[in-house]
Structure 1
Amino acid sequence: MIARELAAWALGLAEVPGPVSAAATRHLLDGFGTALGALRTGAAAPAIEVARGLGGPPEAGVLGGGERLSAPAAALANGTLVHALDFDDTHAGGLVHATAVVLPAAFAVGQQTGASGREILTAAVAGYETACRVAAAAPHGFHARGLHATMVAGVFSSALVSARLLGLDARRAANALGIAGSQAGGLLAFLGTGASTKQLHPGFASQSGIVAARLAAAGATGPETVFDGPHGVFDTLSANPAEPASIVDGLGERWETTRIGIKPYAACQLSHATIGAVLDAMAREGFGADEVISVHAKVHPDSAPVVCDTSRDLTRPASPYAAKFSLPWTVAALITDRGLSLETFEPDSIARPEVTRLAARVSWDVTGSPGVVAADAPGQVTITLDDGREVAGSVPRSEGGGDRPLGRAALIAKFEGNAGVPATDAEAFARTVETLGDQQDAATVMRAAARLAQLTPSAQEKE
């Protein structure tokens, strides 16, 4: 059974190659940055309020805060914090936000059990491999069914991270995976509305995974056929054919942790290749928004239903989140502002009529790239100007992943902008996370995050 094999590997993982550990700390650093950004802007306030209300024994802290809650409650808040700005990392093969489900479980249960920094980091790597591999076993299959792959795959990742840190044996860890399967879900219905449910999905996944591991520890059982049996997660939740065996293929030899991309822009990952192509065109010709007659893009078939869904108004987004999932609006804002930032997707910004007018002039063709998943697809645009010129722009794939990784300096600059702290503080925090494997426990990182959160007032404190 795949669940049994995956559990045995995760529990037995002892030596993690240096490049894999380094990749994991890069992603944890990025996750702390997006969480601090959400804390600063108040983007995850409802989840934090509810987590505080759930309370429980003082096992784990909320990122950037001083209070301690039960591990499941802390994970609900922290998973929402990491993902609330939709600026967190993405594994292209599974189109899954891995850190948003790995970090909350690893640090919550790590604090609960008093695990060392090395134990937390190793558990995180097991979680990264699980989330990425489960999602990539059915590329776009969950999305095509109308489900968020991050939550579907995330419950398994969080369950296995928790099982390892709680000291479960392989049989109970496999049961935890089976139990987690009954909590997999996450509707994409938010796309056409102003709903904030997508922000909550990683929090739900992290919380549910911890609960699944606790239930298994208490003697509850789950189907070991959750991946490869009838009525399992792929049979039930994937609209596309799946390859469940790929979950365990090459474990310990091929590391998906090193293949996760870090977002340079706070928009849906499936727009990033087009964003890169527009930036390439802008670099070739210094045109302004008022010169643009039309923009035409080539869009991958799996990207179009998410960022070019014409059943909703793509030129007048219903919410900041809807703007991030509108390729026409994002492209129009990019050209108008000559860049994208967190402020681009604020409520006042998405109401700008000049961006709406330009977004209405963005069109696309749905064009597949054989053998290439959507988040790894190339970007191509043709921009027609008012003097008759046509400016072409292209990129081989989006920036931040694959052979176009975000460098350390760019990663720290992103962290600095998200957290709203000086460069020296961002650098110091980066060094703290990068040495997690040498630390006695999670306390040093959590204290450092809390100190950074105090440097910049939150949205609530500003009111």
Structure 2
Amino acid sequence: MISRAFAEWAPKPPPEIVTRLLVDGLGCAVAAARAGEGQPALTVARALGGPPEATVLPGPARVSAPAAAFVNGVLVHALGRDPVHGSGLVHPTAVVLPVAFAVGEEVSASGAEIVAAAGAGMELLCRLGAAVPPEFHRRGLHATSACGVFGAALTAARLYALDPETTRHALGIAGSQAGGRVERARGGTVEQAHPGFAAQSGVIAARLAEAGLTGPRDVLDGDFGLYRALLGEVPDAAAVTEGLGEVWEIEQVAVKPYAACRMVHAALDAAALVRRGLPAVPIVSVEVELHPVALPLVTGRAPSTPHEARHSLAWNVAAVLLDGKADPAHDIDVRRPDIRALAARVTAKPGPGDAARSVAEQPARVTLRLADGTRHEGFVPRPSGGPADPGLDGLVRAKAGLGRAADLLADLAALPSLRPVLRALEEEQG
């Protein structure tokens, strides 16, 4: 039922939402490339061979479309700065932008076709995750990977102009590649590659379907489909398809002002708020009130890698209180003694919540006790960077750090192809 609904859907997504997410995602990829991230993925992508169909961001290197989708998916997600859908806890841009760019460039799709395909893929990805929040993560699965292959396959199928039946097969084939185990306790950086895996798998699934391979027709809600196989239960199909084409989940995707898990952003805003005007007195203790669903997912105190640091509530709150920012990029010293010492004094407890909002858009409170006996408190009702943030467009442009390429991408629906954006990007990078 779900596969059929999306395979037959003729989407008309709001172009300003799609292009905002593409601009933010492109900025994330360029920042990661500048920081030297994604080198293992780039090495492998180049070695895979194949025709030079698509650009490795920010250019000018070109590889096959599946290889470009893989490495660009890694780049968008590598620094933990890419957009996130709060209800589904998925990163739609990290999966869909690489497919839209790679296949869009390969087939010389128009800007309008790329926007429509990207919007469809992002919407499917968000809806699949939002139907069961946050069950994938509770079971140690990266929802971006598990759900992402379907968004990637739908995006690629649209750009390859597959008919509904072939598109349904592409989704079925993609289901054989759905996964993404999360095990942060043992370290490793493979999670940053999950969107790349999903993007590449989606492109290959669409190509296989076009070549005649078939897949299960009900790969999402069948007896042994995505939900039952990975979660043990199947949500009502209406939870995924209701309001399709009228209600857009992509409108709820947040832009991340911090390079950290979205579920800790409200706490970081509260920490930044309480830090203003704080006297130069040592901090004795820090108490954070956060939504109870988020707490078990962000409790690491002593990260061993930057990737682990991005998912640690204590580490990021300590970084904001000490530095005024939390941006654990590739070169951060996770052994920094002052942050580790303060993080050890951070405790967390369940805080108030709003049942009408997702776990990633909940309020947070940070309370400090100083050595002079005073108590200081910061509270925010919701994190910055969300869909209701009036400064959202300014945040996107400031984060992206791009010039004409961002201007062109923001108007992608009116362009004859993606090429003007890629050309401008190459010129900006010198």
AA of the residue aligned to 2:304: A
Residues 138 and 241 of structure 1 are in contact (CA less than 8 Å); yes or no, is this contact kept in structure 2?
no
1:334 aligns with 2:320: yes
Instruction: For residues 152-186 of structure 1, give each alpha carbon's deviation from its aligned partner in whole angstroms, at most 9, with x where no partner exists.
Output: 11100010001111111101111111111111111
The question of 1:252 aligning with 2:237 is answered: no
Contact 2:172 2:219 in 1 (8 A): yes
Aligned-partner Cα distance in 2 for 1:160–1:405: 32
Q: Are the counterparts in 1 of residues 28 and 76 from structure 2 also a CA contact under 8 Å?
A: yes
* Match of residue 308 from structure 2: 322
Q: 1:155 aligns with which of 149, 173, 184?
A: 149
Q: TM-score, normalised by structure 2?
A: 0.96
SS of residue matched to 2:27: helix
Q: Is the 8 A contact 1:227 1:244 kept in 2?
A: no
| Equivalent residue number for residue 344 of structure 2 | 360
2:222 paired residue number: 229
CA RMSD across the alignment? 1.7
Query: Aligned pair 1:300/2:291, yes or no?
Result: yes
The residue type paired with residue 434 of structure 1 is: A
CA distance in 2, matches of 1:159, 1:86: 23
Do the aligned partners of 1:2 and 1:248 also contact (CA within 8 Å) in 2? yes
Question: In structure 1, the residue corresponding to 2:8 is in which secondary structure?
Answer: helix
Cα distance change on mapping 1:7 and 1:241 into 2, 3 Å: closer
Secondary structure at 1:347 match in 2: coil
Which residue of the partner structure matches residue 416 of structure 2? Answer: 440
| CA distance in 2: counterparts of 1:275 and 1:243, whole angstroms | 36
**Higher helix proportion (structure 1 or 2):** 1
SS where residue 73 of structure 1 aligns? helix
- State the 1:103 CA deviation: 0.4
| 1:348-427 pair list within 5 angstroms | 348=333, 350-367=334-351, 369=353, 371=355, 372-404=357-389, 406-416=391-401, 426-427=402-403
CA contact (8 A) 1:399 1:405 kept: no
Distance 1:244 1:63 in 2: 37
Counting aligned pairs with the same residue, the percent is 45
Q: Is the 8 A contact 1:89 1:263 kept in 2?
A: yes
Deviations 1:377-422 (A, max 9, x none): 1111211112222212111111111322543222221112xxxxxx
Distance 1:287 1:83 in 2: 37
Q: 1:49 matched to which residue of 2?
A: 43
Distance 1:239 1:162 in 2: 29
- Deviation at residue 341 of structure 1 after TM alignment: 3.3
2:72 alignment counterpart: 78
Listed one character per residue, the Cα deviations across residues 121-180 of structure 1 (whole Å, up to 9, x for unaligned) are: 111111111111111111111111101011111100010001111111101111111111
Contact 2:354 2:362 (8 Å CA) reproduced: no
Question: Which structure 1 residue ranges, 5 or more long, are not aligned?
Answer: 417-425, 455-463
Moved runs in structure 1, 4+ residues, more than 6 A? none
2:352–2:363 Cα contact (<8 Å) kept:
no
Aligned residues: 429
Cα offsets for 1:43-88 (capped at 9, x unmatched): 1111011101112112111111212211101100110010000100
> Do the aligned partners of residues 406 and 236 (structure 1) sit closer, same or farther apart at CA in structure 2, a change above 3 Å counting?
farther
Structure 2 alignment gaps of length 5 or more = none
Q: CA deviation at 1:255?
A: 0.9
2:216 is aligned with what amino acid? Answer: P
1:42 is paired with a residue whose SS is coil
TM normalised by structure 1 equals 0.89
Contact 1:262 1:405 in 2 (8 A): no
1:270 Cα deviation after fit? 1.3
2: CA distance between counterparts of 1:200 and 1:251? 30
Deviations 1:215-235 (A, max 9, x none): 111111111221221111111
2:161 to 158, 163, 167: 167
Select 1:268's aligned residue among 261, 285, 297. 261
